[in-house]
Amino acid sequence: MRKTLYIIGLSTLVFSCASQKNVKKNTYQPKTPVVQPKTVVKTQTQEAQKPKVVSDHGVDFFTTNIADPAKNDNTASYGSIVSAKPAGFKVVKTYFPAMAQNFRQRYLILHYTVLPDDKSITVLTQPGVSAHYLVNNTGDNEIYQLVDENKRAYHAGVSAWRADKNINDTSIGIEIVNPGFTNDATGKRVFVPFSDAQIRKVAALAKDIVTRYQIPATNVLGHADIAPTRKQDPGPMFPWKKLYDEYQIGMWYDEGLKSDYQEIAQADFATKYIDSTFIFSVQTALQKFGYGIELSGKWDDATKKTIEAFQYHFRPQNFDGIMDAETFAILQALNVKYSIK
Ligand SMILES: [Zn+2]
């Protein structure tokens, strides 16, 4: 009898929880939009504060954003909503936006095509390789979209950054039309500059993408950064500093901190250079910054290529793949500024 009462009691509890759920549904108040249009008046009804959904050609879109970007709270956002359409039932998108969600798009990766405009389009629309966007070099104001941002493009290949691997899964890829490099008589790589028009396009596009997806500065990278033993792009001609200075995109070091570290680094540098302890500390610093590098304690080929990739990005005046006091100082300054919390 007592057991029966217990079961009744338990089922009452379950039922009352379910009832509460129903009550909650009826009284649910969605979060207030972070940025309210100036025309919104305070007498706005709660109903009006729910994320609005419109349909166009069978596709639903949110027209308001109720997320708090300061908290990386991507509860709901502008853009298309991909959801099921189960036969005979209604999927409601605006009642219960969950807190625990974020964007799949967490990286922005830049490339060059090593091909002219027409061949870039041909190659990037064939099986096997693609990118979300292609920035041409024809001088017009168009940027080509080849892949939906919600879908995966094949641009990164085997890749790693910090704890992440297979960066295709979590990135937006931008290809820039550029021939890459040729080798001069001494075997040194000679890279071709990007046009100003291309850089303006890349900057505007990158700004839009990192803002919408709240992509952190540490995740705006070149292909060479995430695959340093295989890739060089977008190479030393890509103006990362200009993007940082003029558009607040990506990472750059503080000059004062770099100078301080350089003074320390260059003392007795030649002696340190051949010491395996120093090589370990360089490899550890590169790994801490984000590069997928093994701590071998030797200036092996993979380490040299990783240093070269770092120089393409942060010390493009000299990209010989040899660690010097300035390169090491820049690496240390970046590790202070962009340390993993
Ligand atoms: Zn690439």
pLDDT value at residue 223: 98
Q: What's the structural domain count of the chain? A: 3
Distance, in Å, from the CA atom of 322 to the CA atom of 317, rounded to the nearest integer, reads: 13
pLDDT value at residue 149: 93
Q: With cut-offs at 50, 70 and 90, classify the pLDDT of residue 71.
A: low
Distance 110 CA to ligand 1 centre (A): 7
Distance 26 CA to ligand 1 centre (A): 51
266 plus 290 within the same structural domain:
yes
Whether 84 maps to a domain, the answer reads: yes
Residue where one domain finishes, among candidates 49, 75, 102: 102
Average pLDDT of the chain, as a whole number: 86
Residue where one domain finishes, among candidates 247, 274, 295: 247
The yes-or-no verdict on residue 4 having pLDDT over 90 is: no
The yes-or-no verdict on residue 178 having pLDDT over 50 is: yes
Whether 68 maps to a domain, the answer reads: yes
Q: What is the mean pLDDT of residues 119-140?
A: 96
CA atoms within 13 A on the CB side of 67: 23
Q: What is the DSSP code string of 76-97?
A: S-SEEE-----TT----SSS--
Q: What is the C-alpha R_g of the chain?
A: 26
95 plus 190 within the same structural domain:
no
Q: What is the mean pLDDT of residues 280-302?
A: 98
Q: Does the annotation count 175 as an active-site position?
A: yes
Whether 18 maps to a domain, the answer reads: no
Distance 223 CA to ligand 1 centre (A): 5
- Per-residue model confidence as pLDDT tens digits over 89-110: 999 888 887 777 788 999 999 9
- Among candidate residues 259, 33, 211, 253, the one with its CA nearest the CA of residue 108: 211
123 plus 223 within the same structural domain:
yes
Residue where one domain finishes, among candidates 102, 119, 139: 102
- Per-residue model confidence as pLDDT tens digits over 182-198: 999 999 999 999 999 99
203 plus 241 within the same structural domain:
yes
Q: To the nearest whole percent, how much of the chain has pLDDT over 90?
A: 69
137 plus 197 within the same structural domain:
yes
Most confident by average pLDDT, 14-28, 38-52, 70-84, 256-270: 256-270
- Domain at 196, CATH number: 3.40.80.10
Distance 299 CA to ligand 1 centre (A): 25
Whether 2 maps to a domain, the answer reads: no
96 plus 121 within the same structural domain:
no
Whether 15 maps to a domain, the answer reads: no
151 plus 34 within the same structural domain:
no
| Of 47, 149, 175, 294, catalytic | 175
Whether 6 maps to a domain, the answer reads: no
114 plus 36 within the same structural domain:
no
Whether 282 maps to a domain, the answer reads: yes
89 plus 140 within the same structural domain:
no
Which domain, by its residues, includes 188? 107-247
pLDDT value at residue 27: 47
Q: What is the mean pLDDT of residues 9-27?
A: 39
114 plus 205 within the same structural domain:
yes
Whether 4 maps to a domain, the answer reads: no
Distance 309 CA to ligand 1 centre (A): 12
Q: What is the mean pLDDT of residues 249-268?
A: 97
The yes-or-no verdict on residue 319 having pLDDT over 80 is: yes
243 plus 115 within the same structural domain:
yes
Distance 266 CA to ligand 1 centre (A): 34
pLDDT value at residue 184: 95
Distance 288 CA to ligand 1 centre (A): 23
68 or 254, higher pLDDT = 254
* Measured CA distances, 49 to 4, 41, 53, 121, 194 (Å): 47, 11, 12, 43, 45
159 plus 216 within the same structural domain:
yes
Strand partners, 81: 60
- Domain at 299, CATH number: 1.10.101.10
